[in-house]
Amino acid sequence: MLATLLFGGCAASIAYRAAYVPHGPSSSSPPVHRVRGRVLVFTTFSDDNRSITPGATSVTAFEMSVQAGIMAREIAVTVFSRVADGADEGHDLANADRYAIVLRPQIENLEYGFTHPKHLGIEVTPQVRVVMRITLLDPTGRVLLEKDYDSGPVTNGRSMVGERLVERTDVLVHQAIYDLMLRAAGDIHMFQQTQAAAARVNQTSDR
C-alpha cells in the first residue's frame, strides 16, 4: 500500500477552497500591516484560467494540478478585504481610479513534495513552496511596483499516507499564498507611506 501511494503517481486536483484560507495570521505568518483605502484585485481571464502542474521535490509525490489563477485572485481578495478598507475583483481598469491600490497577483511557480523518515514508515511530511508576483498598477495600467515573493518550504508536521495527504497539501498551498499576500500588504503599506511622504515634500517645496 505504501509503495502504491508514494510512487504510484496518483492524480489530484488542488482547487480554491474558502474554508482552507486561514481566518487570521498564525505564529509563523508575517506581521499584519494596514493598507489605506480600497483595493482592486485585477486579473485577466487568462490569469483566472491558469492551472499549474507543480514540480515535485521528491520521488514520493502525487501528480497534482493546481488552479493557480483562481486561488491567487480569491485569496488576494480575502486578505485585502481584511487588511484594507475592502477589496473587489475585476477584469478591467474602467473604474480603477476609484481605488487606492490596484494590484495583480500571479503565481509564478509552485513546488511540492513529501519527505519521510529514512526508515520509510507510514508517515510523511507534506511540503510546498510558492513563488508569487505582485504587480501594483496605476489606473491606466502602468506598472508602479513589481516584486516576486518566495514562501520557501512550508510544512505543518507529519501526516499519515492516504487520501488526507492531498487535503493537507491543499491546505498548505492556501496557507503559503495567504502569507505571501500578507507580506505584499506590508510592502504596499510602506509604498503608501513613501508616496505620502513624497507628496508632503512636494507640497512644502511648492509654497
For residue 22, being part of any structural domain is answered with no
Place of cell 494540478: 65
The pTM for the full model equals 0.85
For residue 187, being part of any structural domain is answered with yes
User: Which of 18-27, 109-118, 126-135, 139-148 has the least mean pLDDT?
Assistant: 109-118
Burial of 36 (0-12, 13-18, 19+ CB in 10 A): middle
Q: Vertex 40, ends 34 and 43: CA angle to 5°?
A: 130
3-state DSSP assignment of residue 95: coil
142: CATH: 3.30.160.150
For residue 96, being part of any structural domain is answered with yes
Domain of residue 94: give its range: 2-15+27-206
- What percent of the chain clears pLDDT 90, i.e. is strictly above it? 58
pLDDT of residue 163: 53
pLDDT of residue 24: 81
